[in-house]
Structure 1
Amino acid sequence: MKKSLTSLAVLLVLAVFAVGCSEKNAKEGNAEVDDVINVVWYPNESGEDLKSSRDEIGKIISEATGKEVEHHLTTDYAIAIETLVNNNADMAFMGAQGYIEAKENNDAIQPLIVPTGPSGTLDDAVYHSWLAVNVDDQESYKKDGEFALDTIAEKRFSFVSNSSTSGFKVPSADILSHFTEQDAYAELTEEDLMEGGPLFSQVLFGNSHQGSAVNLLDGNADVAAFCDTCVENYVQLAEGEENEVGSVYKVKDDAEQPFNKVAGKEFTLMNVTPVLNAPFAANMDMLGEEDYKKLQKVLTSDEVANNEKIFVPEGSDQSALFFKTDKERFAPAKDEWFNPIREIQ
């Protein structure tokens, strides 16, 4: 029933987009490239707290192309991906796995830009996939004083979405690599991890990284997968070092939704894995080569790199899509850059 409702939601949203695009194409003599640039956002970036960043990026896109920008917020990864694939959007900010899925279904999809690492290059352009447990339960997930993946068997587990890179693809690879070495789980597959058994007692999907984290903190899950960058606006380091196993994070007292209902709660990292940064991807059939080049030029400029509405300075109490710790900026990336994610089994 849940799958049917999700499919229906996707169809309804796509229908709305299709009507709008059909009307515009009729005005342009059936040309696919028109005077509106539709930008689709994953659920993680669709919150009200990130509106100023979305609007600033939209303003830059509009000024560079002379076109109107329309933002489309989603509550489901599948909707965002299918909207771009089915020629109903020009651009999307999506994880590496979502980009790969989109590219497989429409070869016109290609990366536009990727946020770099602190070096200002793609050499260290990574964020982190976390497996987290509630701080009061952390000793239950240790063997001989060290966190051990064996302890997550038979637990209630929360992923983000099966199209999420750091909220499903990467943690699933870590889990499978560990458990398939054991005779009892030798035949375990990625599909098995989506269900309640044979490994987990129950599997939840948060539909966003924020949602998966809240599944853990409000007691619906024992272990949750989510990433550092998607929750950094809501939590603060309470103990240890950033992105290290054993470190403790606490939800800020003034955290925005959906963390406002779990303010003050703490979680511990039991597993941390680096992941390639997420791209802005373009549908070349909709955006067109001319606007693609304009946007790649302006978005990789020093002016954008120094725009505090997009790259908020480290230590600021403002929310933004990206944090500036050193030389972070946007950089061009080729399709091949995402091969390490493609090669995950």
Structure 2
Amino acid sequence: MKNFKKFLTLGLTLAMFAGCLTGCQNNSTAPAEDETATNKYADTITMIWAPNESAEDYDVAREEFSKLIEQATGKKVEHQLTTDYAVAIEAMASGKAQICFNGAESYVQAHEKNNAVLPLFVNSGESGTLEDAIYYSFLAVEEENAKDYADGDSYSIDNIEGKKMSFVSNSSTSGFKVPTTSIINHFADKNLTTDSLINAGEFFSEVMFGGSHQGSAFNLMSGKADVAAFCDTEIRPYADCTEGEENTVGAVYTIKDNATAPFDQVQGEKFTVIACTPVLNGPFFYNADTLSPEDVKAIQDLFTSDEVTNNPKIFIPEGSEDVGLFEKEGDAKFVLVEDEWFDPIREMGK
């Protein structure tokens, strides 16, 4: 697949990707319970959400997740919404929150702070397995300016130097880690570093962070940024692919006429994808110091069951007008995953 050739340029070779997959289909097991500290586990489960999924559009989906976790554990679930990736990461590492859904980079950072932070499950690809459990990182420009990045019949990032750039957050996988690694590799002769990409005037004339994928995309569509990094899944509720093939270089997306805030201000505007890179799906993850092994198993058993796989509020059916976190594509479902599956993310930029 053409996009996976780009994946190779990031140092995430298919061999590494496949190697991680071979040992990852086994059930994830929670650490053994410390019998001397059985009262350390939270009576109320706090589920913290990254800025992207804290948007009002996901209210119904968030509530469905909490209902299911309450069903599995018999415990009350509270939501904590955020506007900052770092808040979610720190809450998980400290154990103030027990469960989080976030990108792989945020999970890796939380695990590095506390190795009791472990993956709970991850959404599969259309195959129902980890083999295609990916989404896509975009570098995009406004459609009217796409000609400035043309490269024959396609597009390239050759001309992004000196532009105004928007990232999501430095804890974002597809909105920062992947695109910065891609840019550094593409401009290898310039000996760029992550710092040189975020310091205005060194490579980009101006650098901004949207705080969420929606925020980064809006920076582009509102004219604040010339180039923006964001992912396909978070923009999907607000934009349709109207030219070309989804998740490919050259695809043109149009903001929907009924798009909600902040995109209600730019309805009908278009952007063109000039770089597109596959990214490992982000996990739901938990803190084993504050979520008991019994609760972990109960949650995993329920969320990997047919009951949840066929739940239309969790996996939104094709053609539905509802907004959810996941679309029901093929045999998509939740599958268990080990920490090592995220090693390719750890390797990026080394």
Settle same-fold status: TM greater than 0.5.
yes
Q: 1:151 aligns with which of 159, 162, 179?
A: 159
Residue type of the alignment partner of 1:250: T
Residue of structure 2 equivalent to 1:15? none
Q: Could you say which residue in structure 2 is the equivalent of 1:54?
A: 62
Of 309, 319, 335, the match for 1:315: 319
Distance 2:198 2:123 in 1: 30
**C-alpha separation between the residues in 2 aligned to 1:146 and 1:69?**
48
How much does 1:323 deviate? 0.5
1:317 shift after superposition:
1.6
Partner in structure 2 of residue 92 of structure 1: 100
1:284 equivalenced with 2:288 (yes/no):
yes
Contact 2:165 2:226 in 1 (8 A): yes
Secondary structure, in 3 states, of the residue corresponding to 1:245?
coil
Given residue 332 of structure 2, which amino acid in structure 1 is its aligned partner?
E
- Residue 149 of structure 1: CA displacement? 1.4
Moved over 6 A (4+): none
With structure 1 as the length reference, what TM-score do the two structures score? 0.89
| Counterpart pick for 2:211 among 195, 201, 207 | 207
CA shift at 1:146, angstroms? Answer: 3.2
Q: How do 1:1-345 and structure 2 match up within 5 A?
A: 31-180=39-188, 182=189, 185-186=190-191, 188-345=192-349
Shift of 1:144: 3.8
Distance 2:194 2:180 in 1: 7
| Residues 154 and 249 in structure 2, CA contact (< 8 A), matched pair in contact too | no
* 1:99-118 Cα shifts (integer Å, max 9, x gaps): 00000000100000000000
What runs of 5+ residues in structure 1 fail to find an aligned partner?
1-28
Alpha carbons 1:142, 1:151 under 8 Å: kept:
no
- The 10-residue stretch of structure 1 (323-332 or 191-200) with the greater mean CA deviation from structure 2: 191-200
Deviations 1:238-279 (A, max 9, x none): 111110110100011111112111111110000000000010
1:289 and 1:160 mapped to 2: Cα distance? Answer: 34
Residue 21 of structure 1 is matched in structure 2 by none
Contact 2:237/2:323 (8 A) holds in 1: yes
* In 1, Cα distance between equivalents of 2:205 and 2:68: 47
Q: Post-superposition shift, 1:325?
A: 1.5
CA offsets, 1:48-105, max 9 Å, x none?
1111011001000001101000000000000111111111010000110000000000
Displacement of 1:31 in angstroms is 3.2
Percent of aligned pairs with the same amino acid: 51
Q: Is the 8 A contact 2:137 2:278 kept in 1?
A: yes
Paired residue secondary structure (2:214):
helix
Letter of the 1:284 counterpart: A
Q: Which has the higher contact order (CA 8 A, sep 6+)?
A: 2
2:307 aligned partner, one-letter code = E
Deviations 1:102-158 (CA, angstroms, capped at 9, x unpaired): 000001000000000000011100000000000000001123443121110000000
Contact 1:93 1:280 in 2 (8 A): yes
Please tell me the root mean square deviation across aligned C-alpha atoms, in Å. 1.2
Normalized against structure 2, the TM-score is what? Answer: 0.88
Q: 2:240 aligns to what SS in structure 1?
A: strand
Return the letter of the residue paired with 1:261.
Q
Following superposition, the deviation at residue 34 of structure 1 comes to 2.5
In the alignment, structure 2 segments of 5+ residues that lack a partner are 1-36
Deviations 1:1-27 (A, max 9, x none): xxxxxxxxxxxxxxxxxxxxxxxxxxx
Rounded Cα–Cα distance in structure 2 between residues aligned with 1:118 and 1:200 = 37
